Amino acid sequence: MDEFTIDDYLAELPQQKRETLELLRNRILAVIPEAEQCISYGMPAFRVSGKVLAGFAAFKNHLAYLPHSGQVFPVLADELKDFVYTNGSLHFALDECLSAQLVERLIAVRREQVGV
């Protein structure tokens, strides 16, 4: 059986979710073009030097950015004050992608933490 890919994950989503997450995917790749695109824990993820730096997922009523660390969001608490989030999941609307600037900041914090 072929390996399940990010393209496969996105293809299974309704159009609105798929389009928003495709934009997020492009914003992540703009920051880390060298990333290996993979599936981690059943969700799209982006790995550099063996370390997962970012991921995303679709849920019934929201989309989520996943830093694969509980230590990223506390560093950016001021920038995330308008979002709902848990230690490992930043929620956003089905039709409104995270800004390119925020994606860049999220990945920068994670990179610093894992040293890649």
pLDDT at residue 80 above 80?
Answer: yes
Residue 98 in tokens: 């995270």
Q: With contact defined as beta carbons under 8 Å apart, do 57 and 66 qualify?
A: yes
Confidence of residue 2 (pLDDT cuts 50, 70, 90): low
- Give the C-alpha separation, 91 to 104, whole Å: 17
What percentage of the chain reaches a pLDDT higher than 70? 98
- Give the C-alpha separation, 78 to 92, whole Å: 16
One-character DSSP codes across 52-99 = EEEEEEE-SS-EEEE-SSTTSGGGGTTTTTTSEE-SS-EEE-TT-PPP
What domains appear along the chain, each with residue ranges and CATH number? 6-114 (3.90.1150.200)
State pLDDT tens for residues 18-69.
999 999 999 999 999 999 999 999 999 999 999 999 999 999 999 999 999 9
What percentage of the chain reaches a pLDDT higher than 90? 97
Give the pLDDT score at 4.
93
Give the pLDDT score at 1.
43
pLDDT at residue 85 above 60?
Answer: yes
How far is C-alpha 3 from the geometric centre of its chain's CA atoms? 20
